Chains A and B, each alone.
Chain A
Amino acid sequence: MLKIEQVSKVFYPGTVNEKTALEDINLHVNEGDIITVVGSNGSGKSTLFNLISGTYPVTGGTLVLDGKDVTNAPEYKRAFTIGRIFQDPTKGTAAKMSIEDNMITAYRKGMRGLTISLNNEMRDFFADELKQLSMGLELRLKDNVGLLSGGQRQALTLLMTVISKPKMLLLDEHTAALDPRNAQIVMELTMKFIKDYKLTALMVTHNMQHAIDFGNRLLMMDEGKIILDLDREHKRELTVAKLVQMFKEIKQKEYDNDETLLAP
């Protein structure tokens, strides 16, 4: 589904602010994989997502998405394969437009012509889809999205992303800005949609328990590198304590190496 080879990202190259955010990342995502990504702030998770979706160009390396080299493809073209959901619920929907207008934009993904697609048949279809969220939004098709709560907006964003028929989801801490109850609802919906539509997914989370409970593979990132890649077998026996322990061991090894390097 996605092949990341030797990808690196350097911000502000050649200036005093030069910063290497990602270093020679290699990652093969298979079709149907649901991968959780953990790592502290600044470890490069978001940069990795931005490179995959095309927000920034890569400094080096290649990206192959769904069999096509997309290393230099603009973000809006990759969006046909990738559905991205951000942490901020306001990023995925247009606040000044009604729910039905938002949904038709998602449903008719891509550049469109002068046809009017939003008819009553479409409205019925949207209402049916909205029922899956059990938030009563099916009765508010004509309301502006700005009137919805954060949880409702994020659930709507999720639904819109799914009906735009991507092959892969990039979930960037998409429940982090919600209260625990809404986070739970959105998380359950996410897993339901991934299963129903047979999607491949990459999910960044700061919730270690979520990282362990969901998906079939776990990545840990630190200082621009993938330092841990656990498959289903290894993930099954994982606990939060073990994960933290593993992180410490890897870090310790690095420190030891540095010490030998610096030793006289």
Chain B
Amino acid sequence: MLEGIFVDGLIFSIMVLGVLISYRILDFADLTCDGSFATGAAIATMSIVNGLGIPLALILAFVGGAIAGFITATIHNRLKVPGLLAGILTMTMLYSINIRILGNRANVTLLGKTTLFNTIPKWIPSLNSSIVLLIGTLIIVFAVKSIVDIFFRTDLGIGIGALGSNEQMVVSLGMDPKILKVIGIGFSNALIALSGGLLAQYQGFADANLGQGMVVQGLAAIMIGEFLFDSNRISLITLRVIFGAIIYKGLMFLGRYYGYYIHLTPSDLKLLTGILVIVSLIIAQTRSAASTADARKKALKRNKERRSALLDHKEDGNAEN
């Protein structure tokens, strides 16, 4: 049971890494995510159902997500509409496309098919299957995390980071922000779709509605992670995203299993997630207000001490005279 939360959280964390790239690194409010997550799930599922094999299924899911991201970024670049609207447009269109991919069905099952998650336990048959599953998922997630870390330390990755912080600077330094956005949003959605492709295999089916509310869940996980520790190093930022994702899934698990005692139903979880984000925002705000107030108080105190020290000094001087 406990491994289940970890595996679920780890798969989810790849999606959150995608949300991190668009929302935190690029500062681009991208809602494509809600559609591209299901796209990844649909592509991976149909690839496996049609016997293309697991590796190709995941690669195709990744590429499908990247294309969804390219479309959003291109709508934003060419038509000069806000990123939010561009994302909503792509997300809406993807809903129809996802059902097409699934062969005009709202969901397709992987029952009886070989998926990544019923293959992994066979790697080390002597060990408990759920432990092996957890280790296998950990390896996959850390491989993805390393790719993200390395990407954001390359010249291109640093350029994308700079774009999120200061667009004018990027232009002044000879980079085309449009191309950087296409690459950044493409990579973000590729990770999101990859996560969708993994989740479909883990839960054994793909659903056209799988992506609903994913953005908010991703943001909640990022914010939980940000409470853990503060850093500007990409490797630590991605690490805290993974922790945040697992903690979020843990909280949702508690809500599902023990919420019963306070008459919570699974449909209340979206409300809880939204409240979680709002509470996180309030805490972050009060925290920064408190640290500013603290700094102000300290500055006043320092000034007062300096003044009184100066006064003492003068009085000493007068006394001597």
Residues of A within 8 A of B (CB): 74-77, 79-80, 83-84, 86, 90-98, 101-102, 104-106, 108-118, 142, 144, 161, 164
Given contacts A104-B155, A112-B155, contact A94 B165 (CB under 8 A): yes
- Given the complex, which residues of A lie within 8 Å of B171, measured CB to CB? 75-76, 79
21 intermolecular pairs with C-beta atoms under 8 Å apart? A74-B176, A75-B171, A76-B174, A76-B176, A79-B172, A79-B173, A79-B174, A84-B172, A94-B165, A94-B166, A97-B162, A101-B158, A102-B162, A104-B155, A104-B158, A105-B155, A105-B162, A105-B170, A115-B155, A118-B158, A164-B173
- Given the complex, which residues of A lie within 8 Å of B162, measured CB to CB? 94, 97, 101-102, 105
Q: A94–B165 Cα gap in the complex (Å)? A: 5
Given contacts A91-B166, A91-B168, A144-B232, contact A118 B153 (CB under 8 A): yes
Contact at A112–B172, with CB atoms within 8 Å? no
Residues of B within 8 A of A (CB): 150-151, 153-159, 161-162, 164-166, 168-177, 179, 232
- Given the complex, which residues of B lie within 8 Å of A106, measured CB to CB? 173
Give the dominant DSSP class at A's interface: loop
In the complex, which of the residues B161, B166, B170, B177 has the most CB atoms of chain A within 10 Å of its own CB atom?
B166
Contact at B153–A116, with CB atoms within 8 Å? yes
- Given the complex, which residues of B lie within 8 Å of A113, measured CB to CB? 154-156
Q: A95–B171 Cα gap in the complex (Å)? A: 16
Nearest 10 A/B pairs, CB to CB: A112-B155, A94-B165, A96-B165, A110-B174, A79-B174, A94-B166, A94-B162, A109-B174, A114-B154, A76-B171
Q: A161–B153 Cα gap in the complex (Å)? A: 21
| Seed contacts A97-B161, A97-B165; 18 additional CB < 8 Å A-B pairs | A76-B174, A76-B177, A91-B166, A93-B166, A93-B169, A95-B166, A101-B158, A101-B162, A104-B155, A105-B155, A108-B155, A110-B175, A112-B175, A113-B155, A115-B154, A116-B154, A117-B155, A164-B173
Q: A250–B237 Cα gap in the complex (Å)? A: 60
Q: A9–B191 Cα gap in the complex (Å)? A: 45
- Given the complex, which residues of B lie within 8 Å of A75, measured CB to CB? 171-172
Contact at A95–B165, with CB atoms within 8 Å? yes
Q: A105–B153 Cα gap in the complex (Å)? A: 11
Contact at A97–B158, with CB atoms within 8 Å? yes
Contact at A112–B159, with CB atoms within 8 Å? yes
Contact at B176–A111, with CB atoms within 8 Å? yes
Within the complex, the shortest CB–CB distance from B157 to chain A, in Å, comes to 8
**A81 and chain B: residue at smallest CB distance:** B174
**A112 and chain B: residue at smallest CB distance:** B155
Given contacts A91-B168, A94-B161, contact A77 B174 (CB under 8 A): yes
Q: Which of A77, A95, A101, A112 contacts B156 (CB 8 A)?
A: A112
Q: A96–B155 Cα gap in the complex (Å)? A: 16
Q: A116–B234 Cα gap in the complex (Å)? A: 14
Contact at B232–A97, with CB atoms within 8 Å? yes
- Given the complex, which residues of B lie within 8 Å of A116, measured CB to CB? 150, 153-155
- Given the complex, which residues of B lie within 8 Å of A112, measured CB to CB? 154-156, 159, 175
Within the complex, the shortest CB–CB distance from B300 to chain A, in Å, comes to 20
Within the complex, the shortest CB–CB distance from A189 to chain B, in Å, comes to 18
Q: A36–B171 Cα gap in the complex (Å)? A: 24
Contact at A114–B158, with CB atoms within 8 Å? no
- Given the complex, which residues of A lie within 8 Å of B232, measured CB to CB? 96-98, 142, 144
- Given the complex, which residues of A lie within 8 Å of B165, measured CB to CB? 94-97
Q: A168–B153 Cα gap in the complex (Å)? A: 30
In the complex, which of the residues B157, B158, B172 has the most CB atoms of chain A within 10 Å of its own CB atom?
B172
Within the complex, the shortest CB–CB distance from A220 to chain B, in Å, comes to 27
Contact at A92–B172, with CB atoms within 8 Å? yes
- Given the complex, which residues of A lie within 8 Å of B176, measured CB to CB? 74, 76, 111
- Given the complex, which residues of B lie within 8 Å of A101, measured CB to CB? 158, 161-162
Q: A105–B156 Cα gap in the complex (Å)? A: 9
**A74 and chain B: residue at smallest CB distance:** B176
Q: A20–B170 Cα gap in the complex (Å)? A: 30
Q: A105–B158 Cα gap in the complex (Å)? A: 7
Within the complex, the shortest CB–CB distance from A13 to chain B, in Å, comes to 19
Within the complex, the shortest CB–CB distance from B107 to chain A, in Å, comes to 38
Q: A111–B170 Cα gap in the complex (Å)? A: 10
Contact at B166–A109, with CB atoms within 8 Å? no
